[in-house]
Amino acid sequence: MMAENIQNEHDIEESLRRVRGGDTDAYEVVIRQLERPLRAWIASLASPGIDVAEIAQQSFITAYLRLQEYEPGTNFSAWLFAIARYQLKTETTRLRRIADYQVRFAPDLLSKELDRQEKEPSSIMATRLEYLRLCTESLGGSLSQFLNWRYQEEVSLEEMAKRSGRSVSAVKKQLWILRQQLKACIEARAATSRSL
């Protein structure tokens, strides 16, 4: 994973060098390398109602237009994520302003979390996504089925309850526990990786 990250950073820096040299199409390589972790990171912290793709696209465009401010070799992905964080924060604040005071808790909470997470390097988010994928694959058949219903097929809780022969509140509880288990699994993998 580390070697891959280094290779990716190297590819990104090379592409940026080409962009500065006039090969504007080389920016496509940068977008391809970073779009997935960036979209995932934004999705994980964006309030409901925020267009994740829009924020990600605007972040790439802003980074492109301000490329002269980026010092080569100083971790472009971290710089891009800082731009994205600013964009997301702005949009979250806008949403909070127009939201009814009773539903401001979500943007409030996520805004606070955005402040806490100064930056999330792309490599960390890419790693977390990979850990999450591995953790979901390690789930047993019936648990995995719940995730597929909810997040892949997006069936209603009532339909999930019908299919599984449980009550709706039991399904909610099951999903809650699954998310907790996945969170713990990600952290365990991260801890193991750090100790190696």
Partner 1 sequence: MNNHQEQSRLFETLWASFLEGELDAEGSRQLQELLENEETFQNVAVEQYEIHRLLGFLMKEYPEQSESFVQETLQKLRTQTNEFSTQTMQRIRKTVFASPSSLPATPNNKISEQKISAIRRSIGSLFVVSSGWMTAAIAIAVLFYVWKSIALTPVTPDQSTTNNSVDDAVSPADQVRFTRVARAQFFGELSPGVDSSVQSEKTYCLTSGMVELLFPRGAVAILEGPAIFRARDGECLEVDTGLCSVYAPDGAEGFQVLTPDANIVDRGTRFSIHVTDFSETEVHVIEGAADLYRKDIINPDSISKSNSPVQQEIRLTERQSARVQTSKEFQSAPMEFRADQYRKQLPDRIISYEASQGPDGGVDQLLNIRLQRNGQEITHSVDDLIPVELIWFQANEVSRDGHFLGRETLPVDRRELSSNNSLASGVINPGGSEQPLTTTPILKHDPANGIQGTPGMAFRFQKPVKNRLGPDLVLFEIHPISSPTNGDAFHISPLNFQKGRRSLTITNYDLSLLSPEALPVMHMHAHNLLNRPITSLDQLMTDPAQGRPVRLKYRALAVAIDLSDLGYEPDEEADGIFIQDAEDGHGRIDPVFIGGLP
Smallest distance from the beta carbon of 183 to partner 1, in angstroms? 5
Question: H/E/C letters for each residue in 138-189?
Answer: CCCHHHHHHHHHHHHCCCCHHHHHHHHCCCHHHHHHHHHHHHHHHHHHHHHH
Q: Is 18 in the site for partner 1 (CB under 8 A)?
A: yes
Q: Is 142 in the site for partner 1 (CB under 8 A)?
A: no
How far apart CA 193 and CA 74 sit, in angstroms, is 24
Q: Is 95 in the site for partner 1 (CB under 8 A)?
A: no
Phi, psi of 49 (to 5 degrees): 100, -15
Between residue 99 and residue 118, which ones bind partner 1 under the rule CB under 8 A?
A: 102-106, 108-110, 112-113
Span interacting with partner 1, options 2-10, 73-81, 84-92, 188-196, rule CB under 8 A: 2-10
Q: Is 167 exposed, middle or buried (0-12, 13-18, 19+ CB in 10 A)?
A: exposed
Cα torsion 105, 79, 126, 58: sign: positive
Single out the residue of 147, 159, 166, 190 in contact with partner 1 (rule: CB under 8 A).
Answer: 147
Residue 1 or residue 93: which is nearer to partner 1 going by CB? 1
Q: Is 70 in the site for partner 1 (CB under 8 A)?
A: no
Single out the residue of 60, 76, 79, 81 in contact with partner 1 (rule: CB under 8 A).
Answer: 60
The encoded tokens of residue 18 equal 């080409």
Give, rounded to a whole angstrom, the gap between the first and last alpha carbons of the chain.
12
The encoded tokens of residue 49 equal 């109602």
Interaction site with partner 1 (CB under 8 A): 1, 3-4, 7-8, 11, 14, 17-18, 21-24, 27-29, 31-33, 35-36, 39-40, 43-46, 48, 53, 56-57, 60-61, 64-69, 102-106, 108-110, 112-113, 128-129, 132-133, 136-137, 147-148, 150-152, 157, 169, 172-173, 175-176, 179-180, 182-183
